[in-house]
Amino acid sequence: MVAEKDNFFERVYQVTRKIPSGRVTSYGAIAKYLGATKSARMVGWALNSSKKKEDIPAHRVVNRNGLLTGKSHFSGTFAMQQLLEEEGVQISDSKIIDFKSIFWDPVKELS
């Protein structure tokens, strides 16, 4: 067995899966929901590991700036942007337009 501390990673996956289509959230929001506000970086690291799992819509997670900082980790440079655009998310120069409106806060929505 290898799962013990993977608890954190697993939680990140769970929250990420619950992000509705056409909506996005930030690493910090997820971290906060997990009770690790200052460990937003770990959320990114967890999502990095989630690349092998296609069940995780990691493209719906961006930084607090609404910028697609993780696009470089996808198959193609614009894969992340394209996926979001297909969900109706308007993006300009790797930046989500009206990010605040489509922002999905797990703490608020998921409680």
Residues at the contact surface with DNA, assessed by CB under 7 A: 5, 26-29, 31, 36-45, 47-48, 50-51, 58-59, 61, 63-65, 69-70, 72-74, 80
CB of 47 to DNA, least distance (A): 4
Of 22 and 41, the one with the shorter C-beta distance to DNA is 41
Q: Give me 56's structure tokens.
A: 């995780």
Q: Are 68 and 96 in contact (CB under 8 A)?
A: yes
Left (φ > 0), alpha (ψ -120 to 50) or beta: where does 23 sit? beta
CB of 40 to DNA, least distance (A): 4
Q: Are 104 and 66 in contact (CB under 8 A)?
A: no
Half-sphere exposure of 76 (CA within 13 A, CB side): 6
Of 25 and 98, the one with the shorter C-beta distance to DNA is 25
Of 5 and 98, the one with the shorter C-beta distance to DNA is 5
CB of 111 to DNA, least distance (A): 18
